[in-house]
């Protein structure tokens, strides 16, 4: 953890270094991923069997390619009732929030008599990657599948590795809850390749979303354009802006909730109270000693954590914008005044009683958010990621008479005579 | 040109081959582009000077790095008045159409007392690539710049190569019309790298859009994630669905308006009238002989053109969906019935008096559209490409009491105890 003060000489350089610090893996997996994609395209199912045998240590033709929806239903029924109710609550609230994202079509006639508009339609099929092992989160499955469902996607396909053939019952339960019935036991770059290009029994999809390791992320990046993908995701991050009136333990827990995800995550506190800064630092140390995920969280906090002391909280806001954080908590009595100054953030958590973790699970907004300063230009996952817009245009003879001559002039100026001719013929101009 | 009939034996295979035909360059430019990006990142302006000297044959430090806005104003004033009026009309109509794309923010409180919403903001800076030479189209500049302006982007940067130092007056005039004042005389992959990463006097931007050759397209693809980009674009295509009551010459001109762009473009006619199909084929031949761009158009038509005869026009629609064309003309008296069956198309042109060329220039909808079957999942360029959405969330004590326990249950089930603790501490639960 580094501690900075805006009044220190050298603050500007130190903060710039914090902004520019790259936490993303620079491992060159791209050649390996390209080879896997090429293999899946050439060999189809055979490549999947072979790679799964090597990487996940089971034989798809023995364990079975698909996970039976009946197994998902059974996993859901077997959930401890409190947990099942929590999952139900989360799904219902995520659905309600995303229903409001459905875009409106337009269809109107303008002064020139031209009919204009745009029509949104869901993609035909979406593929959802769900990691295996430790990072297999049912909440992620809900956050990816529900927007697709709300968009109206008819075919929703899940791929997930099952190392040694083992499935994760929580993930199966979540799949049942959102009604996914096509589930393949394949993972890694080869699963993304199968979704993008198709491979035997796995028919290709139009959009691939969902979290994964560096190989999965690179496979999605290389498949961009063949299919749509959600944003390239990097390590998670949280920025907390807090005044001295907060309970240091609450804020410390918020910082650690990000740190426990992975050793490359980042947690940053901005405060206008130097004493509070120290109390939070102490509370972090105290909590780390009892946290079951303390080893990971400590590594992340030590390497990437920061506390920045500013003269006022207003002074913090342009600094926060430069970080464009994935998660931003504004832990003050009147968060609106600070929120009004935020330009770049994935999601904002307003006030002292809105810890970021609420947004990870049950609040409703999507927890798939732009990381690594991408909130400058990217948005969280939404219903729009599973839809596309078709514009349209209709002219009658009189509208064409009004717009045609300008089209002819521009097409000729651009050296495109067939463009000009397609209009001129209809206007009975001699060209 | 190939002619198919849905009643022929072998139609299914022949049509599948048409759908799968790849017209995109498979030239491996990716290594060359990666090298250029690495050079620009390492050497900054020096790399730009050197590459421009080699590729565009002029010295940036002599010809000047920037194009003077006064030169753009002069180019606009010097336009032939009819052409200037056409450009003005195009800009006004494009602006009016895109104004309607501006997304609405949301901010509401639900039954649990949770404040929820989403807020859209423009990106800070957008970079617009404008090709030099033959393909320097002022219309493309309008189509890329106006959505950014409507989004509210404050800094709009144009990069364009000026081979041998020569500028294109039409492009300068269009730049003046949309108010672009920051214009750099650099092109190619190096210009995209400078926009994405910054290079000396060229400050980095957040989004890069605009057409370019294979090197530019690959540089954008490799910069995806560092900045936002518009969709990877491939060769252009048009599908025309027409009954026998059309003038064959009109439809032939429509097919050729796409073919004249490039030898890799594709034009396909679907009709339910075999005699009309022959009349259009004859008209294409006749028009090719007098078309100034006939050599390019003939090469495209011969290699990639197709006429498909169906028993009914309704039969054509699922076939059109498989092609998911960039442009789709429905040249019939009642286009709505056919339009209702379209799932996948970039833009649709309704009726006999709506040639696609109208949409390229003055109608209003964007002409930057998904190609190569990408309309299955992608949309045309819009105001949304220059904005991003921040979700937000605000809970008070009572709302947290309602949602907190479910969050704790899910966080613990996922093995994330710090997530659970950040909520439990606020609920005064002992964890």
The per-residue pLDDT for range B194-216, each reduced to its tens digit, is 999 999 999 999 999 998 888 99
Mutate: best of A297, A331, A422, partner B, most B CBs <10 A:
A422
Closest-CA residue of A relative to B322 is: A124
* B259/B291 Cα distance (integer angstroms): 11
Q: Does domain A2-23+234-363 have CATH number 3.40.50.1980?
A: yes
Are residues A366 and A147 in contact, defined by beta-carbon separation less than 8 angstroms?
yes
Q: Phi and psi for B393 in degrees, rounded to 5?
A: -155, 135
> Is the pLDDT confidence value at B222 over 60?
yes
Is residue A85 within 8 angstroms of chain B, CB to CB? yes
DSSP H or E stretch at residue B203? none
The ipTM (two decimal places) reads 0.95
Q: Which residues of A touch B431 (CB under 8 A)?
A: none
Q: Phi and psi for A125 in degrees, rounded to 5?
A: -145, 140
Q: Name which of B256, B400, B422 is nearest A253 (Cβ-Cβ).
A: B422
Closest-CA residue of A relative to B87 is: A410
Place A431 in a pLDDT band, splitting at 50, 70 and 90. Answer: low
Q: Which residues of B touch A396 (CB under 8 A)?
A: 351, 353
**Residue B31: its pLDDT value, please?**
86
Is residue A250 within 8 angstroms of chain B, CB to CB? yes
> Is the pLDDT confidence value at A24 over 70?
no
Place A135 in a pLDDT band, splitting at 50, 70 and 90. Answer: low
Query: Which residues fall within 8 angstroms of residue B12, CB to CB, at 6 or more apart?
Result: none
Across residues A122-142, what is the average pLDDT? 89
* A410/A398 Cα distance (integer angstroms): 20
Are residues A271 and A277 in contact, defined by beta-carbon separation less than 8 angstroms?
yes
Which of B419, B425, B426 shows the shortest CA–CA distance to B398?
B426
Across residues A334-351, what is the average pLDDT? 98
Ramachandran category for residue B364: left, alpha or beta (phi over 0 → left; psi -120 to 50 → alpha): left
- Examine the residue annotation and report whether B327 is marked as an active-site residue of this protein: yes
Residues pairing with A207 in the sheet: A126, A228
Arch. (CATH architecture) of B234-377: 3-Layer(aba) Sandwich (3.40)
**Residue A134: its pLDDT value, please?**
60
Closest-CA residue of A relative to B105 is: A101
Q: Tell me which fold the domain A30-79+111-229 belongs to.
A: Rossmann fold (3.40.50)
Place B234 in a pLDDT band, splitting at 50, 70 and 90. Answer: confident
Across residues B281-296, what is the average pLDDT? 97
Across residues B152-174, what is the average pLDDT? 94
Starting at the earlier edge strand, list the strands of the sheet with A237-242: A2-5, A306-309, A266-271, A237-242, A327-331, A347-350, B387-394, B115-122, B106-109
> Is the pLDDT confidence value at A28 over 90?
no
Across residues A122-126, what is the average pLDDT? 98
**Residue B137: its pLDDT value, please?**
87
Which of A422, A25, A18 shows the shortest CA–CA distance to A215?
A25
The per-residue pLDDT for range A74-104, each reduced to its tens digit, is 999 999 999 999 999 999 999 999 999 999 9
- Examine the residue annotation and report whether B218 is marked as an active-site residue of this protein: no
Q: Do B390 and A353 touch (CB under 8 A)?
A: no
Return the number of CB contacts < 8 Å for A and B: 356
Find how far residue A46's CA is from the centre of its chain. 31
* A85/B144 Cα distance (integer angstroms): 48
**Residue A23: its pLDDT value, please?**
67
Is residue B404 within 8 angstroms of chain A, CB to CB? yes
Q: Name which of A231, A409, A426 is nearest B86 (Cβ-Cβ).
A: A409
First CA to last CA distance, chain A: 73
- The catalytically annotated residue of B176, B327, B344, B367 is B327
Q: What is the DSSP letter of A418?
A: H
Q: Phi and psi for B58 in degrees, rounded to 5?
A: -150, 160
Residues in chain A: 431
Q: List all residues of chain A from 255 to 274 with a beta carbon under 8 Å from chain B.
A: 256-257, 259-261
Q: Name which of B82, B287, B416 is nearest A260 (Cβ-Cβ).
A: B416
Place B409 in a pLDDT band, splitting at 50, 70 and 90. Answer: very high
**Residue B233: its pLDDT value, please?**
77
Place A22 in a pLDDT band, splitting at 50, 70 and 90. Answer: confident
Q: What is the mean pLDDT of chain A?
A: 95
Point out the annotated binding site of B for Zn(2+): 258, 261, 360, 419
**Residue B24: its pLDDT value, please?**
66
**Would you say the CATH fold of A30-79+111-229 matches that of A2-23+234-363?**
yes
Place A26 in a pLDDT band, splitting at 50, 70 and 90. Answer: low
Are residues A345 and A316 in contact, defined by beta-carbon separation less than 8 angstroms?
no
Place A212 in a pLDDT band, splitting at 50, 70 and 90. Answer: confident
Q: Where are the beta strands (DSSP E) in B145-250?
A: 155-159, 182-184, 207-209, 228-229, 237-242
Place A31 in a pLDDT band, splitting at 50, 70 and 90. Answer: confident
Mutate: best of A391, A415, A417, A428, partner B, most B CBs <10 A:
A391
| More reliable by pLDDT, B212 or B114 | B114
Which of B157, B255, B261, B141 shows the shortest CA–CA distance to B199?
B157
* B263/B261 Cα distance (integer angstroms): 7
Q: What is the mean pLDDT of chain B?
A: 95
> Is the pLDDT confidence value at B52 over 90?
yes
Residues in chain B: 431
Distance from CA of B256 to the nearest CA of A (A): 6
Distance from CA of B78 to the nearest CA of A (A): 14
Q: Do B257 and A425 touch (CB under 8 A)?
A: no
The per-residue pLDDT for range B11-47, each reduced to its tens digit, is 999 999 999 887 666 557 888 999 999 999 999 999 9
Closest-CA residue of B relative to A330 is: B394
Tally Cβ neighbours within 10 Å of residue A235.
20
Q: Do B393 and A348 touch (CB under 8 A)?
A: yes
Domain boundaries, chain B: 30-229, 234-377, 395-426
Q: List all residues of chain B from 368 to 387 with a beta carbon under 8 Å from chain A.
A: 369-370, 374-380, 382, 384
Q: List all residues of chain B from 215 to 244 with a beta carbon under 8 Å from chain A.
A: 221, 224-225, 227-228, 231-232
Place A213 in a pLDDT band, splitting at 50, 70 and 90. Answer: confident
Query: Which residues fall within 8 angstroms of residue A271, CB to CB, at 6 or more apart?
Result: A241, A242, A243, A244, A277, A280, A307, A308, A309, A310, A313
> Is the pLDDT confidence value at B266 over 60?
yes
Q: Do A392 and B261 touch (CB under 8 A)?
A: no
Range with the lowest mean pLDDT among A26-35, A378-387, B221-230? A26-35
Across residues A401-429, what is the average pLDDT? 95
Which of A342, A346, A312 shows the shortest CA–CA distance to A236?
A346
**Residue A7: its pLDDT value, please?**
96
Look at residue A324 and give its three-state secondary structure: coil
Starting at the earlier edge strand, list the strands of the sheet with A207-209: A182-184, A155-159, A125-129, A207-209, A228-229
Q: Is A261 a known ligand-binding residue? A: yes
Give me the numbers of helices (H) and strands (E) for chain B, helices first please. 18, 14
Ramachandran category for residue A14: left, alpha or beta (phi over 0 → left; psi -120 to 50 → alpha): alpha
Instruction: Please identify, in words, the CATH class of the domain defined by B30-229.
Output: alpha beta
């Amino acid at each position: 953890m580094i501690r900075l003060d805006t009044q220190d000489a050298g603050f500007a350089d130190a903060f710039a270094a914090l902004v520019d610090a790259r936490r993303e893996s620079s491992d060159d997996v791209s050649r390996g991923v390209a080879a896997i994609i090429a293999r899946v395209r050439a060999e189809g199912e055979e490549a999947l069997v072979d790679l799964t045998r090597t990487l996940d240590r089971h034989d798809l033709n023995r364990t079975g390619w698909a996970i039976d929806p009946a197994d998902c239903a059974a996993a859901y029924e077997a959930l401890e009732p409190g947990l099942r109710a929590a999952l139900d609550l989360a799904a219902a609230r995520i659905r309600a929030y995303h229903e409001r994202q459905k875009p409106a079509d337009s269809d109107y006639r303008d002064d020139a008599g031209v009919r204009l508009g745009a029509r949104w339609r869901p993609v035909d099929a979406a593929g959802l990657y769900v990691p295996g092992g430790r990072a297999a989160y049912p909440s992620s499955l809900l956050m990816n599948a529900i927007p697709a469902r709300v968009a109206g996607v008819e075919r929703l396909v899940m791929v997930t590795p099952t190392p040694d053939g083992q499935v994760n019952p929580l993930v199966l339960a979540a799949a049942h809850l959102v009604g996914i019935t096509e589930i393949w036991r394949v993972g890694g770059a080869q699963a993304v390749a199968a979704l993008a290009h198709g491979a035997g029994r796995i028919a290709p999809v139009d959009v691939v979303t969902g979290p994964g390791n560096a190989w999965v992320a690179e496979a999605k990046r290389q498949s961009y354009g063949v299919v749509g993908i959600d944003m390239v995701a990097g390590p998670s991050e949280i920025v907390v802006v807090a005044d001295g009136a907060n309970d240091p333990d609450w804020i410390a827990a918020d910082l650690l909730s990000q740190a426990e995800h992975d050793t490359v995550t980042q947690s940053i506190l901005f405060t206008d109270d130097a004493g509070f800064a120290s109390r939070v630092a102490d509370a972090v140390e105290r909590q780390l000693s009892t946290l079951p995920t303390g080893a990971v969280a400590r590594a992340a906090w030590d390497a990437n954590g920061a506390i920045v002391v500013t003269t006022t909280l207003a002074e913090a806001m342009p600094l926060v914008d430069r970080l464009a954080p994935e998660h931003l908590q504004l832990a003050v009595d009147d968060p609106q005044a600070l929120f009004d100054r935020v330009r770049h953030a994935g999601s904002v958590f307003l006030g002292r009683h809105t810890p970021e973790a609420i947004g990870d699970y049950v609040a409703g907004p999507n927890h798939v958010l732009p990381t690594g300063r991408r909130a400058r230009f990217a948005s969280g996952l939404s219903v729009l990621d599973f839809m596309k817009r078709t514009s349209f245009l209709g002219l009658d003879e009189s509208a064409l008479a009004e717009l045609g001559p300008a089209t002819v002039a521009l097409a000729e100026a651009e050296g495109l005579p067939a463009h000009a001719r397609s209009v001129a013929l209809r206007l009975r101009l001699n060209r």
